[in-house]
Structure 1
Amino acid sequence: MSALHAVPRPSRRTLRVLALALVLVSASPAMATVLGVATGSASYDGGVPESVPPADGHTVVTVDGIGPGLIAAYAPNGSKVYEADEHRFYHDVDPAPRFGTASVTYVASHGAAARHCASEDRCRKSQVMRLNVTTGEREELWARYATPSGSNNIHDVDFVNDTHLVVAEISHPDGVYMVNVSADEEVWRWNASEHYDPNASGGQYPGDWTHMNDVEYLHDRGLVMASPRNMDSVIFVRPGEGVVENMTLGSDGDHRTLYEAHNPDFIPAERGGPAVVVADSENDRIVEYQRVDGAWERSWLWRDGSVQWPRDADRFPNGHTLVTDTHSDRVVEVDEDGDIVWQMRFPGPYEAERLGTGAESAGGPSAVEAGLDSRRASGGVLAGVVLAAEDVLPSLLVNGMLFTLPRWMTPVDAVGMVFAALFALAWTVGELGVLVARRRSADADASAESAESSAPGDD
């Protein structure tokens, strides 16, 4: 007998113990997190911190669909100076120095009386607000009502001047448009259906089709940059004409370039561009693309061992980058070498701004101009295991779970739960297979006995 055949076959009990061990090991990170939250020993419990590390300027953070919406601001010494949560969603936030050094504008949404919409039962109000984070003084600058259909909350606006702003229209008809705020009058509009086929691109039409989540007016070019998330692209629209075809970054389904990205920022030639720095959300990274000989080439990438579904990245004048890392519940500042030099914990942040550095990346250089070093995943064995698992599991699955799970659950917990569920499913299927085989064997034995007993005996 060969050595192979000499190996004893494991018993069913051994296999069951092994299956149970795989399920428990996979679920153990989530179990440890649960115990940590219950006993108060967790390093972060998902709450809004009363203080954060000191920084060079006020830091303002918003939260949208990850738990209750809110906006919070922290003084340079790290103390919390403002918090509000009366709206269901908070999205874009930008410095507004024309109103004062401690002022911002933000976009927020909440339910409204149905009489405001062409609907009998549902209505949503999106509004642009001015806020002084030190005094709490607020003022509504503009508002729009819409009947809920898929994603319907305006995520971003950009002021062109004191009286006009451009809007990223996320609901039907998806597109971008300019509004004269003083007269509440639409000046021009571009609909995404002028460029994209609703039946062959993006998400479900007319629901969450483009998920237009960002808009930026480029004064030096007279263009509007927009981010149709579900088309995996950043596009450039010339008002009155349409999309500038040869400027588009990415394409629908080209996930190596962008995968459902958020909040791209344009860096012009005078600061080392043309370049676009963007939170490449489903790829769990921050990337920058430089315009070279009429094409986009990736010039910078940042990803550490923890980043999970980032949704904002702002380049500072000193070359640092402020990253809003949604599913890792943190906002981090990384330096030219890619090292984290400042960090705050925060529950599911959507966008963050550091006052005094310019709106978004308005004052920052390109990665090429600043000589930034790319940084890829690091962080030890556990981070490596999680990243390897994410390469196997669809990112939409992991990030979708994290979007719906309690805020105290981490990416490690989510990955572990997926594998625990898969192992449990495989175990269940195996047990059912054994039961079916036993039942068939018993039925076969019973049939054989019945046939034997009914056969005529010997005379």
Structure 2
Amino acid sequence: NNDNPVNPENPVQRVIEVDPAGNIVWEITGLAQPHEVQELPNGNLLIADTYFDRVIEVDYDTKDILWEWNPKYIDWGLINTNWSDPDHFYNSPFNYDWSHINDVNFKQYPMWNACLISIRNFDLVVEVNHTAERANENQNANNWSNIVWYYGDYGNYSMIKHQHNPEYLSSGNVMIADSNNARVIEVDYATKEIVWEFTDDGDVGWCRDADEMANGNILITDDDRVIEVNYTTKEVIWSFEQDLVLPYEADELPDGNILIGTGGSGFVFEVDKSTGKISWQYGFSFIKTEFYMNCLMILVFNSLQLTMVLAGFQFQSRRLFGAILYGVLIAFVLFLLIFYADVLYFFNSISILDDSIYV
């Protein structure tokens, strides 16, 4: 349904806040595949409500939507005359997830506040004057003149291609995970030139986040790893790859640990950077659970066949009987190996948890 891509009452489409014990202490529903949430200095939340093609500001206490920015209301031709054609993609909100807004970042300038918004399907990052948008009870909201900076152009992949998570840097420049170009770039805010680029000699895949760390290095979330890169030498000096399936975002915490959110794996966890072990997690690994279930299904199916044989059911081929027996053994061994690895890793993680609780 183009007007309503998901059921607003679906409890899965939500943003939640959890405490250290894993209890949900706050949530908001009625969203559509939200990709990013950021707390504002006043306690409100900015949410990239992706499949509804919007950024919203939500009152934390009441959960009321105080402001909404949607690219379908922008006259893009007034920003760039090359975007004036009514048939241009920017002017054609023809279906759900048309824009795929996947990130919003907030910055306080001396005299005004800004939102840096990633519009993935536009191949475009825009900076919106949040102060002007919210002035006079949003009377000037979704005005093209409030877009004060942009980088990218639809289909111009020499700039960016289906990017993720643009971030403000301390220098004033903008760091972008240029996902489909398999690189991370730093864009000079004034000149819009690329002044830093990281590809790891072609090893970067579908990267989806890049943040400046407290020490000046860059924390990059790649398609199968999270790495710390020395900004000057571009050397990978730290890496975490365990149990990662399409990690989406990683943030450096005040204590130096790394908080990682996964897309494919289905859970969020905190990694002790000094040991490389998980010290906290929320959720469960969908991929690992699926693997367990597949092993169990093979085991059950082949066990039933083996039971039929032992009960007197005759197979015409000994080769078929042997294949069934081997199938049972292989499934059982795989299950034991994964289970053993999980138990071993669980107890290693618990020791770190105990240390963090009592130190």
**TM-score scaled by length of structure 2:** 0.61
Q: Which residue among 275, 286, 308 is the counterpart of 2:226?
A: 286
User: 1:179 and 2:105 equivalent?
Assistant: no
Give the deviation of 1:196 after TM superposition: 3.5
| Counterpart code for 1:241 | T
Equivalent position to 2:65, from 133, 136, 139: 139
Aligned with 2:46 (options 97, 105, 117): 105
Q: How does 1:302-317 map onto structure 2 within 5 Å?
A: 302-304=240-242, 306-317=243-254
Separation of aligned partners in 1, 2:182 and 2:94: 24
- Secondary structure at 1:230 match in 2: helix
Q: 1:95 aligns with which of 39, 42, 48?
A: 39
Shift of 1:78: 3.3
CA offsets per residue over residues 353-375 of structure 1, 9 Å max, x none? xxxxxxxxxxxxxxxxxxxxxxx
Q: Using the TM superposition, give the Cα deviation of residue 153 of structure 1 relative to its aligned residue in structure 2, in angstroms.
A: 1.6
Q: Structure 1 pair 196/333, CA: closer, same or farther in 2 (3 Å)?
A: same
RMSD after superposition: 3.2
Q: 2:279 pairs with 341, 366, 382, which one?
A: 341
Name 2:178's counterpart in structure 1: 228
Question: Match for 1:127: what amino acid?
Answer: V
- Taking the TM superposition and a 5 Å limit, the aligned residue runs for 1:367-386 are none
The 8 Å contact of residues 22 and 282 in structure 2, kept in 1 or not, is answered as: no
SS at match of 1:99: coil
Equivalent pair of 1:163/1:180 in contact (CA under 8 Å): yes
Structure 2 residues without counterparts, runs of 5 or longer:
1-10, 73-92, 134-142, 299-359
1:324 aligned to 2:256? Answer: no
In 2 relative to 1, CA 72–233 (structure 1 residues): closer, same or farther, beyond 3 Å?
same
How far does residue 137 in structure 1 lie from its aligned partner after superposition? 2.7
CA contact (8 A) 2:35 2:102 kept: yes
1:232 Cα deviation after fit: 0.9
Q: State the Cα deviation string for residues 187-232 of structure 1 (Å, max 9, x = none).
A: 122224697449xxx8xxxxxxx112111112x3121111221011
| Other-structure match for 2:81 | none
CA shift for structure 1 position 140 = 3.4
Q: Which residue of 1 aligns with 2:342?
A: none
> Are 2:59 and 2:66, in contact at CA under 8 Å, matched by a contact in 1?
no
Quote the Cα distance in structure 1 between the aligned partners of 2:254 and 2:19. Answer: 20
* TM-score, normalised relative to structure 1: 0.49
Partner of 2:219: 277
Q: What per-residue deviation string (whole Å, max 9, x for no partner) do you get for residues 9-40 of structure 1?
A: xxxxxxxxxxxxxxxxxxxxxxxxxxxxxxxx
Partner AA of 2:56 in structure 1: V
Structure 1 residue 99, shift from structure 2 partner: 1.4
Matched, 1:129 2:57: yes
How much identity, in percent, do the aligned residues show? Answer: 22
Q: Deviations over 1:247-285 (max 9, x none)?
A: 11118xx541x1111121112xxx322x1112112xx21
Q: Which runs of 5+ in 1 are unaligned?
A: 1-66, 112-124, 203-209, 349-401, 418-459
Please list the CA deviations of residues 79-113 of structure 1 after superposition, one character each: whole Å capped at 9, or x if unmatched.
Answer: 212233312220111232x213xx432211345xx
Displacement, 1:347? 8.0
- Residues 309 and 326 of structure 1 are in contact (CA less than 8 Å); yes or no, is this contact kept in structure 2? yes
CA 1:241–1:89 in 2, change beyond 3 Å: closer, same or farther? same
* 78, 83, 91: which one aligns with 2:27: 83
In 2, are the aligned partners of 1:92 and 1:106 still within 8 Å (CA)? yes
Cα distance in 1 between the residues matched to 2:292 and 2:205: 18
Alignment of 1:241-280 (within 5 A): 241-245=191-195, 247-250=196-199, 255-256=202-203, 258-267=204-213, 271-273=214-216, 275-280=217-222
Aligned length: 250
Residue 311 of structure 1: CA displacement? Answer: 0.9
CA distance in 1, matches of 2:172, 2:248: 26
Q: In structure 2, do the counterparts of structure 1 residues 216 and 322 end up closer, same or farther at CA, with 3 Å as the change threshold?
A: same
Distance in 2, Cα, partners of 1:300 & 1:411: 30
* 2:316 corresponding residue in structure 1: none
Match of 2:103 in 1: 156
Q: Which has the larger radius of gyration?
A: 1
